[in-house]
Amino acid sequence: MQFKVTKKEAVILDPGKNMQRKSIPVEIRTDPLTGRTSRICHFRLLKFEKPDLARLIEASQSTCPFCPARTFDALPRSR
C-alpha cells in the first residue's frame, strides 16, 4: 500500500526576508484506504540544540518525587 503523492509549489511572502516572495515545495499525500489528504511543507531545516542534561538533573533533584531522598516526603502512602 502506498500513498498517492502530488507535488506542488506554494508561494509565500517570507517575513524573515523583508516579505520577499519565496517558493516552497509541497506534497499532497492521499491515503488510499480513507481518501484523506495531508500536506507536507518543507519550510526550512529545523535544528535543535541538545539540552544540558547534567544541569536539568541537578535542577530537578530538589523537586523529583522519585529521588531516594524525597520518596517518602513527596509520594502518597497508605496508612
Q: Which three cell numbers stand for residue 31?
A: 491515503
Give the predicted TM-score (pTM) of the model: 0.46
pLDDT at position 79 is 66
Give CA–CA dist 13/46, Å, rounded.
Answer: 19
The low-confidence residues of the chain, meaning pLDDT below 50, are none
Give CA–CA dist 24/45, Å, rounded.
Answer: 12
Element (H, E) at 25: strand 20-30
pLDDT at position 31 is 93
